[in-house]
Amino acid sequence: MARTRGKDSLGPASRGQRRNKIVHVFTEGRVTEPQYIEIVRDRAGANGIEVRIANATAPGSQRKPITLVDAAARLMREETRAAKKAKLAEKFWPEVWCLFDRDQHEQIPDAFKLAKEAGVRIAFSHPCFELWRLLHHKPVQSTFGGVCGEAVKLLPFANDAENIKSVLPGQIPKGSFALAKKRAQEINAQHPAHKAKDLRDPYTDVYEFVEEGLGITAY
């Protein structure tokens, strides 16, 4: 499996020596998103990007969106300073991403605002990440009323999985990324541009994280 680590520092690097770009990822889920990332990276193979799960050991109390973004913003400042000090080529400067859901969380607009100001990227799903998993199997044509369970029960393996939060390789059909992305773009296009993301149901832009954060365009 591809490595995902919780190391929080850029590490030493002299001018011209670094060969990989580092992408730090803060995930709301302790299991689901990291397992998904590991599976798709394993399928895609080495691509010059090192992924580090920045909050791998964080407790649930530190996984609310606003808390994630606050920690990500601090790390972004630290890593940017380190990259400049190490005189890295800009193409190797680290990125920091947060993956979180709408669920019933408060301060979602504040989290988006803080991320934008700090240069932190967000991959957001409404009502939850399971929508993105579902789109690998079927299109979605109606709202979920903000209830994650409504998306979960549509997953073809929902009744068979002992723990739906675990992501298994067989739950992600090979070659399904392009179709999942197309379906996501179709549901996202139903919402007017002026509508706040936390009010768009259903919505997911996880495919942007896959392409722009992980550097993967197919799996």
11 confidence band (pLDDT: 50, 70, 90): very low
The pair of three-digit structure tokens given for residue 58, joined into one six-digit string: 């964080």
Per residue in 191-205, pLDDT tens?
Answer: 999 999 999 999 999
Q: What are phi and psi of 142, to 5 degrees?
A: -145, 165
Residues 102 and 199 sit within 8 Å (Cβ to Cβ): no
How many other β-carbons are positioned within 10 Å of the β-carbon of residue 186?
Answer: 13
Mean pLDDT of the chain: 91
| Predicted TM-score of the model (pTM) | 0.90
17 confidence band (pLDDT: 50, 70, 90): low
Angle between helices 108-118 and 65-85 (to 10 degrees): 0
| pLDDT value, residue 193 | 95
Beta pairing partners, 154: none
Q: What is the pLDDT averaged over residues 81-102?
A: 94
| pLDDT value, residue 147 | 95
User: Could you tell me the CA-to-CA distances from 84 to 23, 71, 73, 157 in Å, in that order?
Assistant: 16, 20, 17, 47
Please identify which residue in the block is written with the tokens 């689901």.
Answer: 32
Residue 3 in this model has a pLDDT that exceeds 80:
no
Residue 46 in this model has a pLDDT that exceeds 90:
no
Residues 123 and 99 sit within 8 Å (Cβ to Cβ): yes
Residues 219 and 172 sit within 8 Å (Cβ to Cβ): yes
19 confidence band (pLDDT: 50, 70, 90): low
* More confident site: 13 or 75: 75
